[in-house]
Every structure is written in C-alpha cells, then in structure tokens.
C-alpha cells in the first residue's frame, strides 16, 4: 500500500504532462485589422479650446468612432459615440 500511492501519483503526473493541447486553427494569432489613426474631426475643435476634459473626451470619441466604423452593427458602440458626441458638443462649444 505504501508503494502504490507514490506510484499512482507519478502515473497521474506523467499522464497529465504527456498530452499538450493543440492550438486551434480558429484562434487568430494576429490582429484582424490594423487600427487606423483617429480622425481629427472633433479632436481639432476640442483641442483648440485648451480644456483637458475636452481633449480627453474628443480623443475617446475618435477612438469609439473608429471602432464603430469597423463594427457598424454594434449598438453599444453606437450609443457610446452618440453620447460622447453630445458631451463634446455641449462641454467644449
């Protein structure tokens, strides 16, 4: 009995380490599309005001707009772009 427990533990370790999981071909190894630089539509208007909050929200708007252009059916991104656009217009103008 004293010999079977270490033998079983060693066997479990060997069996567990024997098989490596193979990478699925469906898993991407590189980004699907490169992220384009954000457009300067709202960022230019907000940066001219000099307010830090305007620059931050304008940058977030540009990033969200770029992501929305890549996935136009995403309703969460549509809502975020609309909200950030209204926030920038109200705060920075």
Token duo for residue 29: 């190894």
Q: What is the pLDDT of residue 78?
A: 93
Average pLDDT over residues 16-25: 64
Q: Cα(46)–Cα(59) distance, rounded to whole angstroms?
A: 9
Torsion of CA 44, 83, 68, 50, to 10 degrees: 20
The verdict on residue 45 lying in a domain is yes
The verdict on residue 26 lying in a domain is no
CB 46 within 8 A of CB 57: yes
The verdict on residue 4 lying in a domain is no
The verdict on residue 85 lying in a domain is yes
The verdict on residue 83 lying in a domain is yes
CB 84 within 8 A of CB 60: yes
Number of domains the chain contains: 1
The verdict on residue 31 lying in a domain is no
Residue pLDDT, tens place only, 48-71: 556 788 888 889 999 999 999 998
The verdict on residue 29 lying in a domain is no
- Range(s) of the domain holding residue 73: 37-93
The verdict on residue 17 lying in a domain is no
């Amino acid at each position: 009995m004293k010999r079977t427990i270490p033998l079983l533990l060693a066997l479990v370790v060997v069996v567990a380490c024997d098989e490596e999981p193979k990478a699925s071909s469906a898993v991407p190894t590189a980004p699907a599309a490169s992220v384009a630089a954000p457009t300067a539509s709202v960022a230019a208007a907000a940066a001219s005001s000099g307010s830090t909050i305007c620059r931050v929200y304008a940058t977030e708007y540009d990033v969200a707009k770029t992501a929305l252009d890549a996935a136009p059916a995403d309703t969460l991104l549509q809502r975020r772009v609309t909200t950030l656009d209204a926030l920038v217009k109200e705060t920075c103008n």
